[in-house]
Amino acid sequence: MYFSSKETNLGFIYNIGIHLTGFGLRCAAPFNEKIKKGVVGRSHTFKILETVLNKSDKTLWFHCASLGEYEQGLPVFEALRKHYKNHKIVLSFFSPSGYEIRKNSPIADVVVYLPIDTKKNAKRFLDSVNPELAVFVKYDIWPNFLNELKSRKGRAILISASFRENQSYFKFYGKSLRHALFAFEHIFTQNEISKKLLHSINYNNVTVSGDTRFDRVFSQLELNNSLDFIEIFKGNKLCIVAGSTWPEGEDLFINYINKSIKKDIKFIIAPHDIKENNILDLQKRLNTSSVLFSEKDDKPLEKAQVFIVNTIGILTKIYSYGAIAYVGGAMGNTGLHNTLEPAVFGLPIIIGHNYSKFPEAKALIENGGMFSISNQQEFDKILNELIENQEKRLKTGSKNLDYIQKNRGAVIQILDYLRI
């Protein structure tokens, strides 16, 4: 592939920017705990790899930006783990929120932070890992790592990819960056729009397979989702679950609960921010009885009306106890959280109004299983309707499960391509 001097200059600018990013993160680390975890974690990556891996090892490399992408790729990772029993699997994350929660993932032999995308780091990383196959998920595309992988004739695929027209790959100034896409021997996209965008830059090894998240969430129905303490808390009462809430959404629930005369309803709130001061403030603002997850062994759960989840990792199972779900992130600008998790349990879902960048939310709303609200009045109205009208509640929720079922199948297409 021919590169003009302008493209070479843009590549040079990218590499300068990456070095400055690494420097900036190290400077910010003392003042931000999340950034500090990433900086410290990346400083140990090469030592970990060189300790665990031998030159004679056959390896696969899975890379995810964060926790959401890990969950998205998990059905494919599990299938590859099962098929390549004699290979060591390296799982890398860029974000601490992914690494810290899944650093003991059973699908990998070693879990590390991906080093900053410099040419030197890319060479050293691939010297250690030397994967037979690399699987990247969705969008975390690092040019130096991918270009180095391609120069070694390494195999790589991108799954559940989703592209937008305003991304740099499809702009005149993004030529040197989009070259990295050609390191993938095949790209599996979530939709036709992404396929057309790739065709516009003459990348043609594309399959519209859909989103692996549908396969992932549907598999949740085959698991044991029981939680004894939630069963005791809920009893035989209708339960409303507010998942991954931010302050804007918590305000809606607190106002609703405090003015509600419906004492025969249970509420579960799982905040995104589970720092102690936020949890205690949330609890103080409630005018009704509440209990924290951390208090579940010491207080009578059945007597509380609100259960506050000040832990991580159990929200998916909690949704299975709900009759109605609210998913946070779209009342403000933080980004809508996972709506497919409650959808697979057949729950009607309420979200905020900022969901334009989330195609599954658009689809669920168009399908009639999800409701978008902009203020307290709208929230109260739709929540009351769903509580009081069982037929509407069940019919609405069933549309969400149907939507999940109809969109499964991405994993099979990926595995067929890999001949597994």
pLDDT digits (tens, 9 = 90+) for 84-142: 999 999 999 999 989 998 999 999 999 999 999 999 999 999 999 999 999 999 988 99
Average confidence (pLDDT) over 182-207: 96
State the chain's mean pLDDT as an integer.
93
Query: Which residue matches tokens 């804007």?
Result: 248
Q: How confident is the model at residue 10 (pLDDT cuts 50, 70, 90)?
A: low
Long-range contacts from 405-408, C-beta under 8 angstroms, 24+ separation: 405/218, 407/210, 407/211, 407/214, 408/210, 408/214, 408/215, 408/218
DSSP state of 167: S
Average confidence (pLDDT) over 244-249: 96
At 12 the pLDDT is 75
Please, how many CA atoms are within 13 Å of residue 196, restricted to the half-sphere of its CB?
A: 5
Q: How confident is the model at residue 35 (pLDDT cuts 50, 70, 90)?
A: confident
Per-residue pLDDT tens over the stretch 59-78: 999 999 998 899 999 999 99
Q: How confident is the model at residue 2 (pLDDT cuts 50, 70, 90)?
A: very low
At 81 the pLDDT is 95
Residue closest to 72 by CA, chosen among 96, 55, 93, 51 = 93
Q: Which helix (H) or strand (E) holds 124?
A: helix 119-129
Q: Are 69 and 141 in contact (CB under 8 A)?
A: no
Give the whole-angstrom CA distance, residue 279 versus residue 12.
Answer: 46
What token pair was written down for 208? 């519209």
Is the pLDDT higher at 312 or at 250?
250
Give the whole-angstrom CA distance, residue 216 versus residue 214.
Answer: 5
Does position 389 have pLDDT exceeding 60, yes or no? yes
Q: How many CB atoms lie within 10 A of CB 274?
A: 17
Q: Quote the pTM value.
A: 0.81
Single-letter amino acid code for the residue at 212? T
Structural domains of the chain ordered from first start? 5-210 (3.40.50.11720), 223-406 (3.40.50.2000)
Give the whole-angstrom CA distance, residue 386 versus residue 108.
Answer: 43
Does position 6 have pLDDT exceeding 80, yes or no? no
Per-residue pLDDT tens over the stretch 215-224: 999 999 999 9
Per-residue pLDDT tens over the stretch 134-159: 999 998 899 999 999 999 999 999 99
Average confidence (pLDDT) over 25-33: 86
Is the pLDDT higher at 391 or at 357?
391
At 9 the pLDDT is 54
Give the whole-angstrom CA distance, residue 20 versus residue 68.
Answer: 27
Longest dimension (CA), the chain: 71
